[in-house]
A and B are shown apart, each in its own frame.
Chain A
Amino acid sequence: MADAVDAATTGSAAARVGATLAAAHRPRRAEIVFWLLVFVAPLALPRHALLGNEIAILALFALSLDLILGYAGIVSLGHAAFFGVGAYTAGLFAKHVTGDPLAGLAVAAGAATLVGFATSFLVLRGTDLTRLMVTLGVALMLGEIANRAAGITGGADGLQGVAIAPLFGRFAFDLTGHTAFAYSLSVLFVLFLAARRLVHSPFGISLRAIRDNPLRAAAIGIPVNRRLVAVYTIAATYAGAAGALLAQTTQFVSLDALAFERSADVLLLVVIGGTGYLYGGFIGALVFKLAQEGFAGLTPQYWHFWVGLVLVVLVLIGRDRLHGAAARLLARAARATTRSPASGGAETR
């Protein structure tokens, strides 16, 4: 790190860029505290392991959407397509090949990667509207396939008879959900580190340039289409992994893995937490799931009314204004507690 700082003061432009990137990539204190808290959670709240598992999976799914929405500016209405592909692949793999969770996770993520790569060329062209339609169309198409191919997927009854072997041959996925929670959290953490590395790399910077102005990005020599294909494919891998986690930890896959509501929900929670900032999806997932737990007790089938209300109010107030206020609060709190530079959620965009 010392030579990086040296280079920043004296060295060439390339070295200065490298130093800036390294500085952005250095883990912040608040982040370390956050992850410590996350990993204490399974021990501190053993009775809420199932809920925690769902939150971790949702957070991974949200992270995946944030990669394309927050960093590359692609509005997708069909992100559940890759989630569903991952879930069904993991389920079928466990049913017909082997119940080993890690092999299933890898195969499912690989299948989602392939589908993501194949469909990434569809989002390159056209406007926001075309992209919305195409992503929505792909998700609906896959949903229709899963529904019609009932002989393979179980159709509307869902895929049953998925049996997952114990993790590393030792930790069984039982009803308490302890193994599931730890497993999902570990996968989330590893994939998060990779995503963090990715968005602070030159690749990630070029994505943001494309998001803000594709024409100018192309003019300074960024291969726009190749970058978009790459990030879309990576996001599909992440979503597939999230789907696989859900299929493995619940040992069941149903059609709602591909449902429109799932795509819409994840869009909502990324927006609640803030786009273009990896932790946004985590905050969104936490708030969303806890709210769902709270409201579900009162009015189970009308949950989506409140989701809708939150969406409408959020847009009318203005997303930026809301996140700006939150960031200012955080910054003030950080300044009040310590003299060190404000860290945490101060960079929504």
Chain B
Amino acid sequence: MLTILFDGVAYGMLMFVLAVGLSVTLGLMNFVNLAHGAFAMAGGYVTVVLMNRYGVPFLACLPLAFIAAALLGLVLERTLYRRLYERPHLDHVLFSIGIVFMAVAAVDWVMGSSQQNLRLPPWLSGRFDVFGVGVGRYRAFLIAVCGLLVITLELAVARTRFGSRLRAAVDDRRVARGLGIPVDTIFAATFAVGSGLAGLGGAMGAELLGLDPTFPLKFMIYFLIVVAVGGTSGLVGPFVAALLLGVADVAGKYYAPAFGAFAIYTVMIAILLLRPQGLFARPR
């Protein structure tokens, strides 16, 4: 029971790190980026290649995955995404689905369609007991790292000058621009960091979630659930939504495996019907 809760929390925290970039993209520029998972996949594959081919240690791979995905995000944002901000949502959807399809096929071509195995270092595999509760080492590691990230992000958004400018831009882009806040630059930086976090999440999640070329499609709905249920007006909403999703998914798979992901979709649709703006959004 507690083990399930623990696994669920670990899973949920991972989901938060994966999806938080998307929630900012949607909240700030109102851009429906279905290709967010592609950046996560990039991070995962960077890690797998570095570890399995070049023997880079796992801990060193994580920042590299972050940097690789962030760079990829920055380049794509500056060259392609920024042209489309003012377009209707249909264009966003078509464009980002196109990116997903290309990413899936390209990775399939380069790396093959099989699932990638990530060999975790020995100190991260296995379990240990805490008061009779079996705790996976890797999951404990995930919770520690993701928890640190959450605190850092929250402090960065709430306490720094960059954070206050970002919040201003999310609340009202036009007024923020009128006050001389460089909204475009802020957005490029945020997009890069969000993509980087997705890449980091992909690297850490490669072992837990599985990594194959269909990753962006398989988890697209999960990221969207986190964002849509959590709302786009802060970090707390997506964080709670991600934890709920993680616990519900793990518990659902454990107690009622016959239903599969069915429960999650039902809960998502119900929440969206009751609170179309998300669980924690302020009504506008």
Partners in one complex: yes
Q: Which residues of chain A have a CB within 8 Å of any CB of chain B? A: 69, 75, 77, 122, 125-130, 132-134, 136-138, 140-141, 144-145, 147-148, 260, 264, 267-268, 271, 301-305, 307-312, 314-316, 319
By the criterion CB–CB under 8 Å, are B272 and A140 in contact?
no
How far does the alpha carbon of A310 sit from the alpha carbon of B101 in the complex, in Å?
10
By the criterion CB–CB under 8 Å, are B89 and A125 in contact?
no
By the criterion CB–CB under 8 Å, are A144 and B87 in contact?
no
* Chain A residues, Cβ within 8 Å of B106: 305
By the criterion CB–CB under 8 Å, are A75 and B228 in contact?
no
Q: Which residues of chain B have a CB within 8 Å of any CB of chain A? A: 26, 32, 80, 83-84, 87, 89-91, 93-95, 97-106, 108-109, 113, 217, 221, 224-225, 228, 258-262, 265-266, 268-269, 272-273, 276-277
By the criterion CB–CB under 8 Å, are B93 and A304 in contact?
no
- Count of CB-CB pairs between chains A and B under 8 Å: 122
15 contacts across the A-B interface (CB closer than 8 A):
A69-B90, A126-B276, A129-B89, A132-B32, A133-B272, A137-B269, A140-B265, A148-B259, A271-B90, A271-B94, A304-B101, A304-B104, A310-B98, A311-B101, A314-B98
By the criterion CB–CB under 8 Å, are A312 and B98 in contact?
yes
* Chain A residues, Cβ within 8 Å of B98: 307-312, 314-315
* Chain A residues, Cβ within 8 Å of B262: 141, 144-145, 148
By the criterion CB–CB under 8 Å, are B95 and A311 in contact?
yes
By the criterion CB–CB under 8 Å, are B269 and A264 in contact?
no
* Given A136-B221, A140-B221, A267-B94, residue A315 in contact with residue B269 (CB < 8 A): no
Whole-angstrom distance between the Cβ of B23 and the nearest chain A Cβ: 11
By the criterion CB–CB under 8 Å, are A316 and B83 in contact?
yes
User: Of B80, B104, B109, B277, which is within 8 A of A316 by CB?
Assistant: B80
* Given A141-B262, A304-B101, A304-B104, residue A133 in contact with residue B87 (CB < 8 A): no
By the criterion CB–CB under 8 Å, are A302 and B93 in contact?
no
How far does the alpha carbon of A130 sit from the alpha carbon of B276 in the complex, in Å?
7
The chain A residue with its CB closest to the CB of B102 is: A308
Give chain A's interface secondary structure class.
Answer: helix
Whole-angstrom distance between the Cβ of A15 and the nearest chain B Cβ: 37
* Chain B residues, Cβ within 8 Å of A268: 94, 97
* Chain A residues, Cβ within 8 Å of B102: 305, 308-309, 312
Query: Which among A133, A268, A305 has the greatest number of chain B C-beta atoms within 10 A?
Result: A133
By the criterion CB–CB under 8 Å, are A302 and B109 in contact?
yes
By the criterion CB–CB under 8 Å, are B80 and A312 in contact?
yes
How far does the alpha carbon of A127 sit from the alpha carbon of B275 in the complex, in Å?
12
Query: Which among B93, B258, B259, B276 has the greatest number of chain A C-beta atoms within 10 A?
Result: B93
How far does the alpha carbon of A271 sit from the alpha carbon of B92 in the complex, in Å?
13
By the criterion CB–CB under 8 Å, are B101 and A307 in contact?
yes
The chain B residue with its CB closest to the CB of A149 is: B258
How far does the alpha carbon of A144 sit from the alpha carbon of B263 in the complex, in Å?
10
* Chain A residues, Cβ within 8 Å of B93: 75, 77, 132, 267
